[in-house]
Structure 1
Amino acid sequence: MATENQMTSGVAGRYASALFDLAREQNELDKVDQDLSKVQAMLDQSADLKRLVNSPAFAAEDQQRALKAVMDWAAVGATTSNFLSVVARNRRLFAAEDMIKGFRQQLALHRGEMTAEVQTAVALNDGQLAALKEKLKSSFGKDVRLNTKVDPSLLGGLVVKVGSRMFDSSLRTKLMNLKVVLKGTG
């Protein structure tokens, strides 16, 4: 099953496992999952926050203080906030996004779900998300959890990754394939 979910390894995997175990012990799996979704959304939307997290130029104390202010502002729970504070103190914030991914993989495994990474050119509405989720469920025979990300460079369509499988129906890829074909016939 670990290969199906491409479990996160290394530093990020160890931290993700520690957070998962802590959240499970405290019966806060859903709360921590919601908090991590907030954190991931903030990282996706804020170049400044991403720079703070990824840059070794900031002192650990500065990262902790700034992160605490952001977590308080976003009403992130104590378990997640304290976890990120420890990560900052240990100078491992650069791996935060992989830790989030690892936590979600473990949660999906715990729930008997599969995780699908979905990239689209524009945000999908609730109906489209439900239809995609249902289609993936019928294809794989398991509940599927969607982690969505908007990537305007796709131009249109979507890219879905489930474990080691990938389905790419993006307009960008179709145009690139057409370009290759046209160059080959010239």
Structure 2
Amino acid sequence: MRKVRGAKAKKYAKQFLSLVNIDQVPEIVSKLETVVMLMQKEKQFRNMLTSPSFKDEERVGVIGYLCEKLGLPEETKKFLNFLSIEGVLIGLGEIVRYINALYLEAKKKVKGIVTSAVELPENIKQKIVESLKAITGRDVELQYEIDPSLIGGVRVKVGSTMYDLSIKGQLGLLRDKLIKG
């Protein structure tokens, strides 16, 4: 089994996206993430799908059964079989991350996480979405989390960029300035 990272994973992700209807991608990705989670948690399952000690036909059978139970389209089954035969199914997690990233890019969307000390009212959520859309130039899908340790304000992460407007974050900056002198 070969690890799949970076450009190789992106290549497989692009191949996958060329096979499926773009509007089905979020649902398929969700189901593939379930497969990835199972592979991470269940050693026997992972071995059945990735070990060369199992014949291709056996792995194809398991993948077929899995796809049927998860309701995955035929194209996805063929793609998983291809990855299995290529010996790179172990890298499915990385490939799925690229599939999701390429999907968001194609749809001109970004995902983000907004963390606040308390539940935010809808009008504030809408203002955050509008502000991030203006900053990124893309539609924004946000996930909201609550962390009382922030004391107040919000922390927003979009892609690799973090905007920390929390009281906890500001106190940390103040502490650092005081320590430096």
Match of 2:18? Answer: 21
Label 1:143 to 1:153 Cα distance change in 2 as closer, same or farther (>3 A): closer
Aligned counterpart in structure 2 of residue 143 of structure 1, from 135, 139, 146: 139
Label 1:89 to 1:167 Cα distance change in 2 as closer, same or farther (>3 A): farther
Aligned counterpart in structure 2 of residue 38 of structure 1, from 6, 27, 31: 31
Match of 1:165? Answer: 161
Do 1:19 and 1:103's aligned partners in 2 also have CA atoms closer than 8 Å?
A: yes
| AA in 2 matched with 1:32 | V
- TM-score of the two chains, using structure 2 as the length reference: 0.60
- 1: CA distance between counterparts of 2:144 and 2:104? 18
How many pairs are equivalent? 164
3-state SS of paired residue (1:76): coil
Label 1:94 to 1:110 Cα distance change in 2 as closer, same or farther (>3 A): same
Give RMSD over aligned pairs.
Answer: 4.6
Q: Does 1:115 align with 2:110?
A: yes
Give the superposition deviation at 1:14.
0.8
Aligned counterpart in structure 2 of residue 103 of structure 1, from 96, 99, 110: 99
Q: Which ranges of 4 or more aligned residues in structure 1 deviate by more than 6 Å? A: 152-157
1:23-44 alpha-carbon deviations (Å, 9 max, x no partner): 2xxxx1112332112222x257
Structure 2, unmatched stretches of 5+, are none
Label 1:119 to 1:133 Cα distance change in 2 as closer, same or farther (>3 A): closer
Structural mapping, 1:52-91, within 5 Å: 58-59=50-51, 61=54, 64-91=60-87
Give the superposition deviation at 1:93.
2.1
1:32-77 alpha-carbon deviations (Å, 9 max, x no partner): 332112222x257x4x432459956852546554443332212111
3-state SS of paired residue (2:105): helix
- 1: CA distance between counterparts of 2:77 and 2:166? 36
- TM-score of the two chains, using structure 1 as the length reference: 0.59
Give the superposition deviation at 1:106.
2.4
Give the superposition deviation at 1:18.
0.9
1:116-174 alpha-carbon deviations (Å, 9 max, x no partner): 243869xx99x69x74544422332321245x598x99977755132x42335689x85
3-state SS of paired residue (2:72): coil
